[in-house]
Structure 1
Amino acid sequence: MIFICYGNIDTRDDILRDLFFKDYTNLEMQTKLHYKGISMSSRSIKRHLRRLGLRQRGRWSTQEIVTAIQEERKGSGQNLGYRSLTKRLLTKHGMAVGRKSVSSILRQIDPKGVELRTHHCLIRRTYYNKGPNFLVHIDGYDKLKPFGLAIHGAICGFSRRVLWLKVARTNNDPRVVASYFLDFVEEIHVLFLNQNDLGVPRCILTRQPEECPSGKPEMMYLHPELYGTVDYKFSVKLSDVESLKSFCSYPSCYGCTEEMKEHFTSILLEGRRSEPINSEDAKELFQWMLQKI
């Protein structure tokens, strides 16, 4: 039987690498390639993977796996469990290793670390952040899920300054998250009172920064020169920011549907309560509102 491969070699190899690092089986690769107009037999897929230096599960020696794991444990992988480390070995080292093998090796070379992770006691990592707007952490929370609401926030990794904290019906709709980010970019523009200072952070990390050092958020964010650093945002055009808004979804400023807003407003009117003007008033009003609903 003759199999014909369509498309150039670079494209085919890129697709094979992508499918391999996503841990697809040979049969799954064959199916995906077929839908991309590339017809290959299972034997051909194995041959091309060998040519690309991508070895399937069971073809790595124990010493090679141990060496890769020890390399990861010297850096950011020191707190990874066997599941995350298995994924790291695949995506970073191209090593398709079974979870049981990784778990067994970890128990032998890092028994204390396995015990700590079992009890959710992690070793704090050294955290480096060059300055304001070099790295921003964003994350979402569903602590208000019983009310159909979620919280979305972001902080500066250098100073721990809260960049935004929003309440909406979702914390994972990318169009809503994008709207928060663009609002923040415009806030930077106003905050520094410089028409030529419109810029965006260099890096974004979608998780909470547990390793961030404490400090003086406002001073560290607005006056980085006092701490021997600079603002790391890079310039963007206002026209680009405006054009991106068409892809965003802007939730209500009340963080809920119009029907819920009317319901809560009526409760406030019946109780002769007004909207809060500070955080303490908001906490007290929230506790009062919980009793009413």
Structure 2
Amino acid sequence: MLLLLHRHQVNISLSTLKRRLRSLRLKRKLTGSRNTISSYNDVVNAIITEMGCSGRCIGHRSMWYRLKIEWGIRFPRDEILRLMRIVDPEGIRVRKRRRLHRRRYICKGPNKVWHVDGYDKIKPF
């Protein structure tokens, strides 16, 4: 902040500076080859490779995390979602449909099937 005041004659608080940096999505530049990938082609290729093996049924948050940890790719999560919608639109639709999956029970009589849920806490009594 002293640099802004002395060089550019801008006097703002630290919280305002942080808020403006966050709104512009500006962060520190990470050094090293593992932390920077600049082209969309590299990210798309990594997504396609992950979807070819075990990443077929994961969502965009898990894909973002996997790309960050295993591939060393730093990329915005909303951009990962947009690229996944382009690369695999059918997979997105399938995962979206199964978001709220209700269970159906068929049992022979009363007290044959019990569903125990620790969060329920005798809600419907």
3-state SS in 2 of match to 1:96? coil
The alpha carbon displacement at 1:143 in A equals: 1.1
The alpha carbon displacement at 1:111 in A equals: 0.7
Counterpart of 1:54?
Answer: 34
3-state SS in 2 of match to 1:68? helix
Size of the aligned set, in residue pairs, is: 80
Q: What is the rounded CA distance, in whole Å, between the counterparts of 2:83 and 2:61 in structure 1? A: 13
Residue 72 in structure 1 maps to residue 50 in structure 2: yes
Gaps of 5+ in 1: 1-24, 27-41, 122-141, 148-290
Q: TM-score, normalised by structure 1?
A: 0.25
Counterpart of 1:100?
Answer: 78
3-state SS in 2 of match to 1:54? coil
Q: What is the rounded CA distance, in whole Å, between the counterparts of 1:62 and 1:119 in structure 2? A: 28
1:184-199 correspondence to structure 2 within 5 Å: none
Two-structure CA RMSD over aligned residues (Å): 2.4
1:84 corresponds to which of 49, 62, 67: 62
1:43-71, CA deviations, whole angstroms, 9 ceiling, x for partnerless residues?
Answer: xxx4xx32xx1234xx4211100100011
Q: What is the rounded CA distance, in whole Å, between the counterparts of 2:118 and 2:84 in structure 1? A: 38
The alpha carbon displacement at 1:74 in A equals: 1.0
Moved over 3 A (4+): none
1:150-161 correspondence to structure 2 within 5 Å: none
Q: What is the rounded CA distance, in whole Å, between the counterparts of 1:90 and 1:109 in structure 2? A: 19
Counterpart of 1:109?
Answer: 87
Q: What is the identity, as a one-letter code, of the residue corresponding to 1:77?
A: G
Counterpart of 2:117?
Answer: 143
The alpha carbon displacement at 1:109 in A equals: 1.1
Counterpart of 1:191?
Answer: none
Q: What is the rounded CA distance, in whole Å, between the counterparts of 2:118 and 2:86 in structure 1? A: 42
Counterpart of 2:20?
Answer: none
Q: What is the rounded CA distance, in whole Å, between the counterparts of 2:34 and 2:117 in structure 1? A: 43
The alpha carbon displacement at 1:101 in A equals: 1.1
Q: What is the rounded CA distance, in whole Å, between the counterparts of 2:58 and 2:38 in structure 1? A: 21
Q: What is the rounded CA distance, in whole Å, between the counterparts of 1:109 and 1:64 in structure 2? A: 13
**Percent of matched pairs sharing the same residue:** 24
Q: What is the rounded CA distance, in whole Å, between the counterparts of 2:67 and 2:55 in structure 1? A: 10
Gaps of 5+ in 2: 1-26, 100-115
